[in-house]
């Protein structure tokens, strides 16, 4: 079933809460309706990784497909989850039902359908580790399709669905949670937990850490991490660490390391920097916040200022992680 709302405010539909409007918003509760829907829409989940920078002239399709199906094999629990389900609620339910695995990804905002697009990750874990397949509507071929994990093009904060933005409407995500669970304590902040920590203990620790570092969008509007943590060559890192010995890194492979974008921004003294109603959060430099009265112009100016200063000092080109939209659709980062 679909429901259409005309000239609706976008303020409540994205967590950065800029005061713009959309021409129309269509709410989708059944995947079957996609075949009959006029193909002139932008797909939106819970709006936690999307920022509208001006009034949006196109239709928005809000995917609100629900569903929680569970079966099991000898080795794993198999889940089929509607794309409109809330991600954190899924994490809570799987743990409540005795199916650990997703606990490191607790409290990440957004919908289940958005998880494979961004390949959400936190505290040493990525969603791709547990996704077995993704079901979607192919807007180009006008048919329902299914992608096995190895067909999804998963990478750091990336996927086939992100690379082909707008082509696929994700309807269901299938997960495989191994029964031989072990806690993943590889991330530094979790290293203090005992090796036999329960999934609930891991989740509670993750939630505590996230709440201490990241502002609650319901209190201080934001879209989470605004920039990706950049991946650079080991040679580039060696040059930088000679100047900045405390620059943290995470090994990606023999030739590349990942560095913390928040550290780079903080090192430049940009915490608290404002542009109109938008500011760099004073506790987490990777997050930009709406302090009130903000505009899309404010946001874009501050983002450019940060990118320019980081490149000037570190020769690193920061990539924007959130999805920015102008009146016609996705903007280039």
> Quick check: is 331 in a domain?
no
> Quick check: is 183 in a domain?
yes
Q: What is the pTM of this model?
A: 0.86
Q: Considering 158, 193, 210, which residue would you say is the last residue of a domain? A: 210
| First-residue to last-residue Cα distance in the chain | 34
Same domain, 147 and 25: no
Could you identify the residue written with the tokens 């902040």?
Answer: 189
Same domain, 291 and 229: yes
Burial of 196 (0-12, 13-18, 19+ CB in 10 A): exposed
> Quick check: is 333 in a domain?
no
- Tell me which long-range contacts 302-306 makes (C-beta under 8 A, separation of at least 24): 302/273, 302/274, 302/275, 302/278, 303/226, 305/273, 305/275, 306/227, 306/265, 306/270, 306/273, 306/280
Same domain, 119 and 173: yes
Same domain, 263 and 299: yes
> Quick check: is 332 in a domain?
no
Please name which of 88, 157, 108, 168 lies closest in space to residue 128, comparing C-alpha atoms.
157
Supply the CATH number for residue 228's domain. 3.90.78.10
Same domain, 274 and 248: yes
Same domain, 222 and 306: yes
281-328 pLDDT tens trace: 999 999 999 999 999 999 999 999 999 999 999 999 999 999 999 998
Q: How far apart are CA 207 and CA 211, in angstroms?
A: 6
pLDDT for position 189: 84
Same domain, 117 and 204: yes
Same domain, 188 and 242: no
Structural domains in the chain (count): 3
Catalytic site positions: 157, 225, 321
- Among 33-47, 215-229, 247-261, name the one with the lowest average pLDDT: 33-47
Tokens found for residue 227: 């920039």
Q: Considering 150, 185, 210, which residue would you say is the last residue of a domain? A: 210
> Quick check: is 330 in a domain?
no
Same domain, 85 and 196: yes
Supply the CATH number for residue 84's domain. 3.30.465.10
Domain encompassing residue 49: 2-63
- pLDDT class of 61 with cuts at 50, 70, 90: very high
Same domain, 188 and 270: no
Q: How far apart are CA 10 and CA 239, in angstroms?
A: 45
Could you identify the residue written with the tokens 């090192």?
Answer: 267
- pLDDT class of 39 with cuts at 50, 70, 90: confident
Would you tell me how many other CB atoms lie within 10 Å of the CB of residue 174?
A: 19
pLDDT for position 137: 98
Same domain, 177 and 233: no
């Amino acid at each position: 079933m679909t429901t259409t709302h005309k000239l609706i405010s976008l303020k409540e539909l994205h967590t950065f809460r800029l005061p713009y409007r959309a021409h129309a918003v269509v709410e989708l509760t059944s995947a079957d309706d996609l075949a009959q829907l006029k193909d002139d829409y932008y797909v939106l989940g819970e709006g936690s990784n999307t920022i509208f920078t001006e009034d949006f002239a196109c239709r928005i399709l809000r995917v609100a497909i629900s569903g929680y199906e569970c079966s099991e094999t000898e080795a794993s629990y198999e889940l089929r989850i509607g794309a409109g389900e809330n991600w954190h609620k899924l994490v809570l339910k799987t743990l409540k039902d005795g199916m650990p695995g997703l606990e490191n990804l607790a409290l990440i905002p957004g919908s289940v359908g958005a998880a494979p697009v961004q390949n959400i990750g936190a505290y040493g874990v990525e969603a791709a580790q547990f996704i077995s397949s993704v079901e979607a509507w192919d807007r180009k071929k006008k048919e329902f399709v299914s992608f096995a994990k190895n067909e999804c093009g998963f990478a750091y904060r990336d996927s086939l669905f992100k690379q082909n933005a707008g082509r696929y409407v994700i309807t269901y995500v299938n997960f495989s949670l191994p029964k031989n669970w072990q806690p993943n304590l590889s991330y530094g902040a979790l290293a203090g937990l005992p090796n036999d920590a329960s999934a609930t203990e891991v989740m509670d620790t993750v939630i505590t850490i996230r709440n201490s570092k990241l502002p609650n969008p319901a209190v201080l509007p934001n879209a989470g991490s605004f920039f990706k943590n950049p991946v650079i060559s080991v040679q580039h890192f060696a040059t930088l660490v000679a100047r900045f010995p405390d620059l943290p890194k995470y090994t990606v492979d023999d030739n590349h390391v990942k560095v913390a974008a928040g550290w780079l921004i903080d090192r430049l003294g940009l915490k608290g920097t404002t542009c109109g109603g938008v500011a760099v959060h004073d506790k987490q430099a990777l997050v930009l916040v709406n302090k009130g009265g903000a505009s899309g112009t404010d946001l874009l100016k501050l983002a450019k200022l940060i990118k320019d200063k980081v490149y000037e000092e570190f020769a690193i080109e920061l990539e924007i992680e959130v999805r920015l939209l102008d009146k016609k659709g996705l903007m280039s980062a």
